[in-house]
Structure 1
Amino acid sequence: GFRRALAARGVTDVPVVRGRFTVDSGRRAMAELLREHPDVDAVFAANDLMAQGACQYLRERGVDVPGAVAVVGFDDSAAARRARPRLTTVRQPVERMAAAMAGLLVEELEGVRSGPASKVFAPSLVVRESA
């Protein structure tokens, strides 16, 4: 979705470095990204832990976040609030998602509906200090 949204705005060359959703893999991914793309000015991490690792790596190298590189995480976890700088992140409406899932399950169990169903929930951007 991230890459499609950028492509719709004319940004087609978006480097991707894969990680394992941990702080350490965020550090490694940031190191690799900077090695291959030293002019990077923004990072969207797959989760808040990886974003925290990216910020740690940048800080240790004297790179200002968000001045030189903006960093955005995903999940709005406790890690986003504890990170330095505090992470800008994408929040999913987890409680609404869980309630909808429970409702679909009840409908399935009661025979009101059968088969797959999907619901789409809009995320929200939580702006803090990292972007």
Structure 2
Amino acid sequence: MLREAGRSAPADIGVVGFDDSSWALRTQPPLSTVHQPAREIGRNAADLVLRQLRGEEPAPGNVLLPTPIVWRDSA
């Protein structure tokens, strides 16, 4: 749609996605994104479930994982 409007990224507009999937590298230009650490999210979720199944109390608070911005040519 940007091209149809005579615009381009990043010259006229910056575009940033979220999750850093493999599709981010297939776009033209490659998409800048916020990396979502899916493996670590799954690992932490599984650990919490296993602790509950063993009757253990989950650790209080939240789990904070790093979500760096992956800069590519779209922004």
Aligned to 1:64: 8
TM-score (norm 1): 0.52
* Residues in 1 aligned to 2:69 and 2:12: alpha-carbon distance in whole angstroms: 20
* Residues in 2 aligned to 1:77 and 1:87: alpha-carbon distance in whole angstroms: 10
* Identity between Structure 1 and Structure 2 (%): 39
Letter in 2 for 1:88: S
Aligned residues between the structures: 74
Aligned to 1:83: 27
* Residues in 1 aligned to 2:49 and 2:39: alpha-carbon distance in whole angstroms: 15
Unaligned ranges ≥5, structure 1: 1-56
1:99 to 39, 43, 46: 43
Letter in 2 for 1:71: V
Query: Which one has more relative contact order, counting CA pairs under 8 Å at least 6 apart?
Result: 2
1:49-86 deviations in Å (ceiling 9; x for gaps):
xxxxxxxx112211121011011011111221111111
- Between Structure 1 and Structure 2, which shows a larger proportion of helix residues? 1
User: Are positions 1:128 and 2:35 aligned together?
Assistant: no
TM-score (norm 2): 0.87
* Residues in 1 aligned to 2:73 and 2:27: alpha-carbon distance in whole angstroms: 10
Letter in 1 for 2:48: L
Unaligned ranges ≥5, structure 2: none
